Amino acid sequence: MTGLEGAAVVEFAVILLAIAVGSFVKGVTGSGLPQIAIPVMAVFLGVERAVVIMAIPGVITNGWMLWRFRDQMRLTRDLPVLLGCGIIGAVVGTFGLQRLDAAVLALAVAGMIGVYLALHVSRFDVHLPPSRSRITAPPVGLVAGAMQGATGMSGPLLTTYLHSYRLPKHVYVVSLVTLFQVYAVVQVGMLLHLGMYTTSRLVESLLALVPMMAIMPLGARYATRVSQQVFDRWVVGLLTVTAATLVYDGVRGLLA
């Protein structure tokens, strides 16, 4: 095996590991796949290629989870507003995929998550009742959709925001997955419209489904056995890892 072939094998192994870990976390919390897999893949493949590869698998995996927790849909809050504003944002964000300053965006989102985690650790009651969330939902949906279109990762914002709703864990999961699914469908449509899917990228995207569909059900099975408190710790852990990754990516981007 040549050095070039060996490097390709290592890259492929890292990508598979990132997808496997992200798939398990998504199975447990409803989120985590893009924000774990995309930053890792972007190191080897570039941001644009990583985002394009992950878009179709996102639609498939979100659809599976949406069906699994469909009976919880009636207990969700603010979804129509978050979806409507998010669709607009996703269209605009996809157009800006190659134009937005990803480093600044990453640091801004990491800072927002950091503030939320600081409040959470200090035991300050971060809670958005319906009377307040009706006001905050439209701008959050718009920004989350734009983040999905531009970076493939609306998870950091939506995970943080919906966590403040204090929803039961399965309602929280179906809320997240519904938003991810609609944003992802719009994103895939825009990527196809802009001609960003080559034959090789389409093949890579479909191959990424193999580890996802093998690992994600394991995470979903684990989620049914944990308490609300343990589930909450999973979400906080995911936010912490995501914030650290975003800070690293943002600083590296600014220094490049």
Is there a contact between 49 and 40 (Cβ–Cβ < 8 Å)?
no
Residue 78 structural domain: 3-255
What token pair was written down for 205?
A: 């995207």
What per-residue confidence (pLDDT) applies to 86?
93
User: The whole model's pTM is what?
Assistant: 0.70
What per-residue confidence (pLDDT) applies to 20?
80
What per-residue confidence (pLDDT) applies to 6?
60
Per-residue HEC secondary structure of the chain comes to: CCHHHHHHHHHHHHHHHHHHHHHHHHHHHCCCHHHHHHHHHHHHHCHHHHHHHHHHHHHHHHHHHHHHCHHHHHHCCCHHHHHHHHHHHHHHHHHCCCCCCHHHHHHHHHHHHHHHHHHHHCCCCCCCCHHHHHHHHHHHHHHHHHHHHHHCCCHHHHHHHHHCCCCCHHHHHHHHHHHHHHHHHHHHHHHHHCCCCCHHHHHHHHHCHHHHHHHHHHHHHHHCCCCHHHHHHHHHHHHHHHHHHHHHHHHHHHHC
What per-residue confidence (pLDDT) applies to 23?
80
Total structural domains in the chain? 1
Is there a contact between 162 and 121 (Cβ–Cβ < 8 Å)?
no
What per-residue confidence (pLDDT) applies to 4?
53
Confidence of residue 83 (pLDDT cuts 50, 70, 90): very high
What per-residue confidence (pLDDT) applies to 187?
85
* Cα–Cα dist 184/165, whole Å: 23
**Window from 29-38, 78-87, 91-100, 167-176 with minimum mean pLDDT:** 29-38
Give tens-digit pLDDT for 120-163: 666 556 688 888 899 999 999 999 888 888 777 777 788 888 88
What per-residue confidence (pLDDT) applies to 26?
73
Q: What are the angstrom distances between the C-alpha of 73 and each of 33, 80, 112, 171? A: 22, 12, 27, 7
Mean pLDDT of 94-110: 71
pLDDT, the chain, mean? 79
**Window from 4-8, 53-57, 102-106, 195-199 with minimum mean pLDDT:** 4-8
Comparing 234 with 174, the larger pLDDT belongs to: 174
Is there a contact between 208 and 58 (Cβ–Cβ < 8 Å)?
no
